Structure 1
Amino acid sequence: MHVLTLTTNADAPFMTEQMRALERRGVSFSTLPVSGEGDSGKTRSPTDYLKYFPEVIAEAGNGYDLVHAHYGLTAPMALAQVRKPVVLSLWGSDLYGPVGPVSRTCAPLCDEVVVMSEEMRETLDHDCRVIPDGVDLEKFQPAPQDEAREAVGWDSDEYHVLFPYLPEREVKNYPRARRIVNAVNGLVDRPVRLQTVYGVDHDTVPDYMNAADALLLTSHSEGSPNSVKEALACNLPVVSVDVGDVSERLEGVDPSLVSEDDEELIEGLREVLESGERSNGREAAREVSVERTADRLHSLYERVASGGR
């Protein structure tokens, strides 16, 4: 099976890991990204997307079994070619943010739609498949904290709270994370440092997960945040607002906390830091391993490809 992948971010780790897992099942991919600047908080111009239409139409004629559009903004281009069936994967911000109307308009026209959580399915209000992106359990696994801190250069005499996002990304709500950590700083016996980690090689992310004392998620909206699943795989406690599928992922995981209340988030983070314990999250992460989610997506591919457009 040969799949044409359309994407706004060809380097998205969760997408590329998923594709590698599918390649082990006999699927081959060609990736056609939207040209122009789209990373690090920058946005592409309408012209970049207009130029993308003829590129997709021309490439789709090169013997593919289906077209997989990742992110809602690539859906119109995928549908513009009429020869091959279309699978659309929505990531979260393309449903909850300003791109939402594009995603909702295109979803009924696609042969299959994949979303990351039950919350997204309810928001979309259209027949779709819930298949969260998986985590690589070989790459993300527990390791000694002192070795990880040495690898990333963090002080062993401080508490380290991981915020693995660009602070300028408004949807991630960095100011709320900053307020929570500042409040906790006055309640514990050691300095608490909020570590913003972004733009690093994805192979080094497990070091940061194992070096941290907790992951803090304060986003306005999410689909199925990979940082939470990666933290689970490393037994890193998570303190999070109730977005996406976080409550489902953290069910039975201890220590961890999901709440919408700032006082509860502050107290929960304080307790996690002072306990010094790792979580039992790795067992929960097995439910969303990249191999398990790839099996589900492979079955969907076979069904779509056999049915045609």
Structure 2
Amino acid sequence: MTFNAYNTLMPRICIVPYVQGLGGVTSFRLKFEDGLRARGIDVTHDLNQPADVVLVLAGTRHLLPLWKARRRGQRIVQRLDGVNWVHRVRWAGVRYTVRAVYGNANLSFIRNRLADHVIYQSQFIKAWWDDWYRPARVPASVILNGVDLNQYSPSGLHERPSGHVRILLVEGSLSGALDSGLYSAVRLAEKLSQKTRVELFVVSRVDKRAQGRLRDRYPFRIQFMESVPREQIPWLMRSSHLLFSAEVNPPCPNSVIEALACGLPVVGFDTGSLSEIVQGDAGRLAPYGADHWKLEPPDISGLVRAAEEVLDDQPRFRKAAREQAENTLGLDRMVDEYLKVLL
């Protein structure tokens, strides 16, 4: 494997915060750090250690050490996700609302006062931040997330059913105020089940009460798993017929990118960044049919037609999904684009 040459006078990148778990930020950190080390670039998570550049993954509560690093001459590059917004249109509880408001304030402060460069994960995110918080005073780049095309691949073991259709959802949370996408998936599965056997496989945090209510109400099979080990995700995606992208206004969903790499076509509403990622026959996007910023009930009919088209020609759509990932969503491409900004 051949990598581009970078400035050897800047061999260390500080990445903060040091996030762990199964979320998208952790996934990015782990694969990005692997890409850096493969290129001979050192990584630290301590803002007090020498480093030539600091990459802030969204926000951090350690603002004083970050400010001190900037005063020492270290460049601050902020990688921005979307704006917290659901609490503005639905009651999400005190805890969620406080965290969302604080999170937006923290992200905005770093963007406006500390960052020397901002990397947005999609054009949609950049336009969103520019619209709600005005354009940043510093240079900006847009770099889509990437995926390891060897780890996430159509090649490998799978248990894709032949007697029924498996619709997969992989989201961080579909509980509480974030459950609108779950009910869209259920309505989609209900419509499809009128013509064929359907299984809805949900990997996400979902309220226990909602799980029981949905299982009892609908005749098709619904499986819930709160999480799946990261290494099992490719197998699960190869074992499904389509991924439904459930989030409304998704910033740059890793699950969609991973699905395409595994040759799993994606179906969803045409909101957020999906049209930047799911192109050609990699899947089908349907008009939302209502005001998605108000989380109004969507028009399911277009979504059903999109899913039926994908299910009727699996070989064509699975092939195109993988090609889309190979052409635009590889991990090496993403790491190289980040290094053009960082070093």
By the TM > 0.5 criterion, same fold? Answer: yes
TM-score, length basis structure 1: 0.78
- Give, in whole Å, the separation in 2 of the partners of 1:106 and 1:254: 36
Residue 255 of structure 1 and its aligned partner are, at CA, apart by 4.5
| Partner of residue 51 from structure 2, selected from 51, 64, 69 | 64
2:40 aligned with 1:26, yes or no?
A: yes
Structure 1 residues not aligned, in runs of 5+ = 32-58, 303-309
**How far 1:112 sits from its partner (Å)?**
1.2
Partner of residue 269 from structure 1, selected from 300, 307, 329: 307
CA distance in 1, matches of 2:321, 2:54: 35
CA deviations 1:184-209 (Å, max 9, x no partner) are 222x222x111112522211111111
Q: Does 1:116 align with 2:157?
A: no
CA contact (8 A) 2:13 2:51 kept: yes
Compared CA separation, residues 218 and 77, structure 1 to 2 (3 A):
farther
Cα offset, 1:117, TM superposition: 0.6
Number of residue pairs matched by the alignment: 267
CA–CA distance in 1 between the matches of 2:83 and 2:230?
Answer: 21
Q: Are residue 227 (structure 1) and residue 217 (structure 2) matched?
A: no
DSSP 3-state at the match of 2:247: coil
- Write out per-residue CA displacement over residues 255-280 of structure 1, whole angstroms, 9 at most, x where no aligned residue: 53343142101221133234443421
Match of residue 201 from structure 2: 195
Q: Tell me how far apart the structure 1 counterparts of residues 331 and 237 of structure 2 sit (CA, whole Å).
A: 18
Correspondence list, 1:119-134, <5 A? 119-125=124-130, 126=136, 127-134=139-146
**Partner of 1:91 in structure 2?**
81
Distance 1:182 1:78, change over 3 A: farther
Change (3 A) 1:15 1:161: same
Aligned-partner Cα distance in 2 for 1:242–1:69: 29
- Which residue type is aligned with residue 132 of structure 1? L
Alpha-carbon distance in 2 for matches of 1:169, 1:213: 27
1:164 aligned residue (162, 170, 175): 170
Task: Quote how far apart the aligned CAs of 1:61 are.
Answer: 2.6
Cα pair distance change 1:69/1:95, threshold 3 Å: farther
Determine if contact 1:212/1:236 at 8 Å carries over to the other structure. yes
| Deviation, structure 1 residue 75 | 7.5
Question: What's the Cα RMSD here?
Answer: 2.4
CA contact (8 A) 1:72 1:95 kept: no
Which residues of structure 2 form unaligned runs of 5+? 1-10, 87-99, 131-135, 205-226, 289-298
Opposite residue 112 of structure 2, the aligned amino acid is P
**Which of residues 12, 16, 40 is equivalent to 1:2?**
12
Deviation at 1:63, TM superposition (A): 1.4
Percent of counterpart pairs with the same letter? 24
Q: Deviations over 1:174-232 (max 9, x none)?
A: 2222222222222x222x11111252221111111110000001212222111111111
> 2: CA distance between counterparts of 1:214 and 1:228?
10
Are the equivalent residues in 2 in contact too, given 1:18–1:134 (CA < 8 A)?
Answer: no
Which residue of structure 1 aligns with residue 154 of structure 2?
A: 142
